[in-house]
Structure 1
């Protein structure tokens, strides 16, 4: 994939190591912010307002990002509601808060740190930069009365259709599950991120989609244009993700198709870095490298990186039978073969292997199945009807649906079952339309994503 103008693999890796070294101060800052947020959450849990304010002030001093501004206003809104029920002679909880008349710089703008009892419209206006009176930043939906932002405008006028409702200030300001998805992208069609992104977003996840290649269309058309991202460009995208703190925020990383060796090595370094700074992160590796009919469709060097670098870091892996057979250099025909293959691959001790699209010797005729294996062997088998259609992007959609289910709190076997059912529905709909690729617009498919829950 190299054309002579790109850096060699060794040069790309050296440049990446230099960037990581330069980013150590930023990493330390992010670690401090994470600790401050933990202190704030602990103070909220026991309703220790003084400690919560201390944490907010420390956070604003370190990095005046919107999170701490929102947390501060959330606190004041709660106090506003509490004060409204007290007599005029009631004293504030903390004398230090009565002195909060100074103004604090936040994100290049200024807002006053108002004391409890401030009218709600004033709180809304306080967050508006003077030049942008109609762009009050919305607080998370868990904010107690009144909700600032979407339901309020400066001057105290409430937007149409708004409601009020008292909420306990301790209710967590919980962001949606966050996913970093690193795989292919197409202008037209549904493969890679173009297949996985919509289902995850429809299920209520926030997704940072990082492309490894950008093509005009899926590969089943007479022509295809585009290319793998140049290593320098891809490296810049990863650096931007670091600078935005995405690795610390992420609940999941999903990787799929990779089109060049340099990019594959950078993906491996990025995943390793992310898991080091965020041990709770769940990494799903979909080793997209080939299938039964086309055979191996990535260079062997990329497949080697998937086997030797990516899969050993995976918490969940979703190879098809061809990929598993290539990775382990053995035939996959029985459940014993699956268990042996898991032992050959250098998975983490608790990693889960989901082999998709299996037609094993004991699989019911006319069906295929997904088989989940853990460290103790087979966890569950999930048979489904074999459809008379095979379309690009099927595995990418399936992996994205598994992440969506897990992120919504669905146990892994149930998440696989849901992913399999919804993938079959999308393929059925494509077949009925005579489409040459996966179709994601079927109404029941979309409704099922919005309604996704653990039950």
Structure 2
């Protein structure tokens, strides 16, 4: 039957080294048994040493990407990644609202896992006020939680409060990721707040490795893939947490410095 196979969409930048961004999303979609489509928002030149150049896509080109996918495919879930500026965020919001692409997973990509800010304040404010309210699932890292909720996280109660504040901004479900800053830690704990009001913690072993590029992209992409398959929200988040941890725990040697995670370590073969 036409368009019966589950399809998911990544709205993100293209990373030439394949470790993060759109490539990490498409790796994840493939590993979870979902066909991946893409709306390219930027092209990034880089490798395992770092990012060295980037070029944003014109908004009229992005508009055409959305239009072409809407005319032909049955996108059942979508996710956003790095959106460089306010104009781009507003254009993505406009196109997503006009399309029927299912639930939206927002990976805010505001700050790095080391706490360095990636977005200018004007773009952050646009993301906070226009994109986050559309989020079926919001997946900020530890530093992004603090930035979005405008508070410092000292303990579990703070994280719970921050998740509630982000849900009050319009995000239906929140995956507030815990800190990875302590090399002595043995686990990584994330707080999940569902649209139903249920809140719980997910914990997985901490792996001491520099093969962690694309972890945030892959977590949000895995949730997206599972939602595209019709997996219930709570289970989709749990699967994504396990998927990324398994991918980190079975590193592959690619590149000289900061390498990618291993998406195939937790591949779903049930669809074969």
With the length of structure 2 as denominator, give the TM-score of the two structures: 0.84
Gap runs ≥5 in structure 2: none
Correspondence for 2:268 = 449
Query: In the alignment, is residue 227 of structure 1 matched against residue 55 of structure 2?
Result: yes
Is the CA contact (8 Å cut-off) linking 1:339 and 1:378 kept in structure 2? no
Match of 1:392?
A: 213
Which residue, 237, 241, 263 being the options, matches 2:88? Answer: 263
CA contact (8 A) 2:76 2:227 kept: no
Q: How has the CA–CA distance of structure 1 residues 323 and 245 changed in structure 2, closer, same or farther, with 3 Å as cutoff?
A: same
Whether the aligned pair in 2 keeps the contact of 1:371 and 1:378 (CA below 8 Å) is no
SS at match of 1:281: coil
Which residue of 2 is the match for residue 379 of structure 1? 199
Alignment of 1:24-423 (within 5 A): 140=1, 175-218=4-47, 221=49, 224-229=52-57, 233-245=58-70, 249-274=74-99, 278=100, 281-345=102-166, 346-348=168-170, 351-358=172-179, 366-375=186-195, 377-390=197-210, 391-423=212-244
Q: What is the CA distance between 1:432 and its match in structure 2?
A: 6.7
SS in 1 for 2:64: helix
Distance 1:198 1:365, change over 3 A: closer
SS, match of residue 296 in structure 1: coil
Aligned-pair distance for 1:306? 1.4
The change in CA–CA distance for 1:326 and 1:402 in structure 2 (over 3 A counts) is same
The structure, 1 or 2, with the larger RCO (C-alpha pairs under 8 Å, 6+ apart) is 2
What is the DSSP-based 3-state SS (H/G/I as helix, E as strand, rest coil) of the residue aligned with 2:98? helix
C-alpha displacement of 1:294: 4.0
Instruction: Give the whole-Å Cα distance in 2 for the aligned partners of 1:375 and 1:252.
Output: 17
Among residues 437, 443, 454, which one is paired with 2:259 in the alignment?
A: 437
The gaps in structure 1 that reach 5 residues or longer are 1-139, 141-172
Tell me which structure has the larger Cα radius of gyration: 1
- The Cα of 1:192 is off from its aligned counterpart by 1.1
SS in 2 for 1:450: coil
- How far the C-alpha of 1:307 sits from its partner, in A, is 0.7
Maintained 8 Å contact 2:214/2:261: no
The separation in 1 between residues aligned to 2:271 and 2:152, in whole angstroms, is: 36
**Local SS of the residue matching 1:382:** strand
In 2, the alpha carbon distance for the partners of 1:396 and 1:234 equals: 22
Mapped partners of 1:312, 1:248: distance in 2: 25
Give the number of aligned pairs.
267
Q: 1:369 to 1:441 in 2, by over 3 A?
A: closer
| Structure 1 counterpart SS, 2:16 | strand
| Secondary structure in structure 2 of the residue aligned to 1:201 | helix
Larger strand percent: 2
Q: Higher helix share goes to which structure? A: 1
Post-superposition offset of 1:291: 3.1
- Cα deviation for residue 396 of structure 1 reads 0.2
Q: Structure 2 CA distance, aligned partners of 1:419 and 1:205?
A: 14
- The two structures have a TM-score, normalised by structure 1, of 0.53
Output the aligned Cα RMSD: 3.0
